[in-house]
Amino acid sequence: MRSRTALYLVGLILLGLMVFTAALAPAVSADPVNGFMVGEAELTTVAGTPASFEWILYNNDTVPYVITPTSDPSSNSEFSVDFDQSYLTLYPGESESIIMTVTTVREMSDSNIIFDVRFNITQMNELGNTFSINSTVRLVVVPVFGAGAGDNKILGTWDNDLPWPLDGNVGAFVVSVGIWALVALFIILVADPLLHRLTSKTATDLDDIILKIIRGPVLLLMVLFGAVNSLEILNLSRTLIADLELAYSVAFILAMAWLSYKIYAGVIVYYGHKLAAKTDSEVDDVLVPILEKLGLIVIPIIALAVILGLFGYNLTVILAGLGFMGIVIGYAAQATLANFFAGMQMMFDRPFKIGDLLRLDNGDICEVRHIGMRATELYNTFTNEMVIVPNNDIANKKIVNMVQPDRRLKIAVAVGVAYGSDVDTVMRLMTEAAQALPEVMDDPDHQTVVRFSDFADSSLNFTAFIWVKDLDLQFKVASDYRAELLRRFDNNGIEIPFPQSVVWLRDLGKAEEA
């Protein structure tokens, strides 16, 4: 009896455990194909921006199925519905995702669209066995253009409670245009003169410059905004409203680009020129014009990129294309870029400056007139010619700056005297001739030095090393020194020989017979 009772208790415990386990075990769907929504069933998007819904379908059966997705509504003039797969095949145990993308037009108004999505499923080995999975999603579209278009509101803000005949949209339009006209007249006739009078009393001219710069663009933007804002009050078509706002957006970007460049050129570049004029460095004198031209290029490019973005173009692709184009241009313009970077290097290293005299590798002496980003302009002092030298050539060749470390210059003047001349007297006369010239330096550190340099065929050669006070006087000093030296040699009986040959005939009689 006791053993039978024990068996009953064990059976009841096992039955309870089975029931408890079954309750905790996850329920297994009996459907052959299961569909699961990924993400939210309600999305919000801006008109013109695509929105996507995603589902995952799983084959829970032992046979394959073909699944075809459809949507109601599918497409119309304001939006289109596309699935990433027109159909898919699911084999037992497989899963696939299906993405539905809704693309709206930019002119679309405020909308709330409900889509009934149906997945039609057909068993592959038994075509008569069909069923479907249904899902409902919602898309809220926020308009880009004309959010308040067609509203009977003055300035698009205040309700039109005016009496007849101004109580309609046309009346609100007329009143809005009048208000904007009064605002424009107030700015032109009152605000602008008042601000000009106030800024004229300040110590700085910065406020006058800014006021002069922003006057035109601000007035233009106000007129454009007032016109578009007033026109939207009328019951115009969505396409026309979108075109108006798009045109306003383009005009706004162009006006802002114009304003940005005027501020850039009128304030930053203007003060850059003033600062450059006060400094001794030539770097800022060259960099400021470069920055001015750079702003003239960069600001329009940015404005163009923003405008292209308004029209739906992918800026990433455009920038990638510009980058590739830059590589091609850089490869094709290697010489120009080499000259550009050589010019930058010279501006920062400053091996010479405007007004310096340079001795080129061919011996020409030229004055630096202009240092550009591509080439340097040199004035040949002998031929009265302007020489344009690419910066890369100057950077890679030996150039002697004759005014560094200062404008003093040591010249060498050679002279030959006849054999038999007294060497000490010659050296003394050469030294005295140099000391007699006022352009020659005579301090203890820059004395004239005379050296006996060579035994030539017809002369004894001497060289005088003379310090000139200014290198511009080097040729005058050399000429005056030679004249003074000739005079002193004549007064002291020193002969300057000329080349001659002496021929000795050993037998004059035989020579005459021949």
Of 116-120, 356-360, 496-500, the one with minimum mean pLDDT is 496-500
If you average pLDDT over residues 247-256, what whole number do you get?
85
Q: In 396-435, where do the E strands start and end? A: 400-401, 409-417
The Cα–Cα gap between 103 and 85 comes to: 16
Share of the chain above pLDDT 70, in %: 81
Candidate ranges 137-146, 181-190, 390-399; pick with highest mean pLDDT: 137-146
The pLDDT of residue 510 is above 90 = no
The Cα–Cα gap between 417 and 194 comes to: 88
Continuous segment of H or E residues that includes residue 274: helix 270-278
Phi, psi of 208, rounded to the nearest 5 degrees: -65, -40
Query: In 10 A of CB 176, how many CB atoms?
Result: 24
If you average pLDDT over residues 128-134, what whole number do you get?
90
Confidence category of residue 295, pLDDT binned at 50, 70, 90: confident
Report which of residues 158 and 297 the model is more confident about: 297
Q: Which of 121, 140, 148 is nearest to 132 (CA)?
A: 121
Classified as helix, coil or strand, 348 is helix
Of 4-8, 105-109, 162-166, the one with minimum mean pLDDT is 4-8
- What was the pLDDT predicted at 504? 66
The pLDDT of residue 53 is above 80 = yes
- What was the pLDDT predicted at 80? 92
Decide the pairing of beta strands 400-401 and 460-468: unpaired
The Cα–Cα gap between 151 and 41 comes to: 31
Confidence category of residue 23, pLDDT binned at 50, 70, 90: very low
The pLDDT of residue 104 is above 80 = yes
Q: Which of 467, 431, 477 is nearest to 452 (CA)?
A: 431
Indicate the DSSP class of residue 163: P
The Cα–Cα gap between 191 and 189 comes to: 6
Could you tell me the CA-to-CA distances from 267 to 60, 111, 211, 212 in Å, in that order?
72, 47, 11, 11
- What was the pLDDT predicted at 6? 55
The pLDDT of residue 19 is above 60 = no
| Tally of CA atoms within 13 A in the half-sphere of 452 that contains its CB | 13
- Residue 293's Cβ-count burial label (10 Å; 0-12, 13-18, 19+) is exposed
* Opening angle at CA 144, ends 141 and 146, nearest 5: 110
Indicate the DSSP class of residue 169: H
Q: Which of 115, 58, 61 is nearest to 88 (CA)?
A: 58
31-53 per-residue burial string, b: 16 or more CB within 10 A, e: under 16: ebbebeeeeeeeeebebbeebeb
The pLDDT of residue 284 is above 70 = no
Q: Which of 136, 139, 145 is nearest to 55 (CA)?
A: 136
In Å, how far from its chain's centre is CA 6? 91
Continuous segment of H or E residues that includes residue 5: helix 2-24
If you average pLDDT over residues 258-266, what whole number do you get?
81
Q: In 173-248, where do the E strands start and end? A: none
* Tokens (6 digits) for 198: 């106030």
* Tokens (6 digits) for 185: 């007249």
Query: In 10 A of CB 343, how many CB atoms?
Result: 23
Confidence category of residue 94, pLDDT binned at 50, 70, 90: very high
Classified as helix, coil or strand, 262 is helix
pLDDT in tens, 457-501: 888 999 999 999 888 888 899 999 999 999 999 899 888 887 666
